[in-house]
Amino acid sequence: MGRTEKPVDWTDPVRATLAVLLRGARGRARLTYAQLALRTSSSAATLKRAASGKTVPTSTTVTEFLTACGASQEDLTMAKRLVEAAHGPSRSVPAGEVIEPAGVFTEGELNSALVSLHRNAGLPPYRQVQRKGGHEWLALSSIWAILRHQRLPASPGQMAAFLRGCDIAEEQQGSWLAAWNRAKRPQAMPGSLHLSGACGSHAVARRYAAACLPRTTRRGTDMHRDGSAPFAVPVWWEAARWASDLVGVVDAADGIDTRSLARRAGLSLDSTTRLLEWLRRQQLVATVAGTHFPGPALEPLTRPGRPLLSNALARLRDEVGAAVYLSSYTDGEIRVRASAHSEAAPPAEEWVAFRASGHASAIGKSLLAQLDGAARMDHLSRHPAIRLTERTITDPLKLFENLDRGGPHGPQFSVLEYSPQAVCAAVPLGLPGEVCGIALSLPVQQYPRLLMAARRLPGLAPALLLASLIADRPEPAHAFRGRPELLAA
């Protein structure tokens, strides 16, 4: 009897997904690597490496592997896409994209930005980058690791050397060094309020909240963290709550000017003005001659059904191109409050109830990450961590270390942990004292889109959080005033 095959290496999720696909095909065909080697032009060792997840096999090797196993055309197409994605020098930076240092907050974003700088410099050879940056700071191995998303510059000096190697002007290096400092030594996000556009690509509001949290090491896991531990709260959470308060004041008043609104809400005039601009784009407030009234989006709240939240979810679904779910942790249980999906964005099959699979689904992991240690253990005592796929984490210590990697406000992923048919991502959506989150799911064939779609969630979440806060309020104090001049404003 042969030895048990080593587990797939998940250091790179794209390579790992390809390896799982290859292993699945071989398992269904019931062939050994030696038998496969007789049917292909590759050796058994090469085929085994291709299915390990540690290396990126050639397209020819993968095609021969799957063809010899009798795989379907769908598997061949998916494998081809995964090979192309794995071979790409930077899967997260589209060609020609210029990333501004002011929009960099996390290590992943900084790494993608450095790859973009190298690309926009014309992909100079490593030795040229080393020569321009200075041999005392940059080794060829360091440049290789940085451009392969395996490492960041270890010091400000090495960061500056890399910038010189990519022809970044001296006057521009200060902002890049500040970005390095933010990513390597994350601090609480500034308290200033900033909501731009519809949370555009470079808005502060879209940044992962993990950037504003202290690091958590393996030994410093929050497995036994108590509920009183202080954590930074992303500024957009507070902004959504303030915006909800403004809507309540506007709704209760028969027209109100900006200064009076700021005074009643207890906000500065500048913050009130910015929030009003955002609320007008959401059609929650309409302004006529400097006086603010409830906007047309509030009209459905005066009728049964309260579709404001469902409309916000539908917009989010269309923006990310995936099924989306609004979840909460209520009375010790995971609940999906609402969801939005379509034929183009099919939902994940709930083959095991989400309330019982919190350890494996992105929905559940995002909620559990916001709980203290006692609440997590209480949940697992009622819903044990059972194995759903070969990727499911069942050890509580390992699970909690995984949850705490990005802090309670960080993103969570489920890559073949809940189901072999879907991949998911989730981010928290709530305020202190409320445990809720927003998640998305994609068919496993669309796995290469997962990271890009997940990156958009924090930027689109404020509008959904605001809709949730407004929908959960009691009935509006006044019915919507349907004036023609408001609808045209």
What is the amino acid identity at position 474?
Answer: P
Cα–chain-centroid distance for residue 22? 27
Report yes or no on whether pTM surpasses 0.85: no
How far CA 451 is from CA of 91, 108, 447, in Å, comes to: 9, 11, 8
Q: Give the SS3 label for residue 328.
A: strand
- Those residues with Cβ within 8 angstroms of residue 31's Cβ, 6 or more apart along the chain or in another chain: 39, 68, 69
The answer to whether the CB of 298 falls within 8 A of the CB of 279 is no
Q: How far apart are CA 138 and CA 120, in angstroms?
A: 20
The answer to whether the CB of 393 falls within 8 A of the CB of 417 is yes
Nearest C-alpha neighbor of 425 from the set 387, 396, 453, 388? 453
Walking along the chain (489 residues) 10 residues at a time, the average pLDDT comes out as 69 76 89 91 89 84 92 86 69 53 75 86 85 78 83 84 88 84 54 37 34 35 40 56 76 82 80 80 78 72 57 86 92 90 91 90 92 87 88 88 79 90 87 79 89 82 72 48 33
CA angle at 476 for the pair 470 and 479, rounded to the nearest 5° = 130
Terminal-to-terminal C-alpha distance of the chain = 76
Residue 179 phi, psi (nearest 5): -65, -40
- Those residues with Cβ within 8 angstroms of residue 119's Cβ, 6 or more apart along the chain or in another chain: 89, 90, 93, 95, 96
Tokens of 231: 């954590």
pLDDT at 286: 83
pLDDT at 14: 74
Strand pairing category for 412-415 and 436-443: unpaired
Q: How far apart are CA 38 and CA 44, in angstroms?
A: 9
pLDDT at 238: 65
pLDDT at 183: 76
Tokens of 50: 């291709």
Q: How far apart are CA 42 and CA 55, in angstroms?
A: 15
Q: How many residues are given for the chain?
A: 489
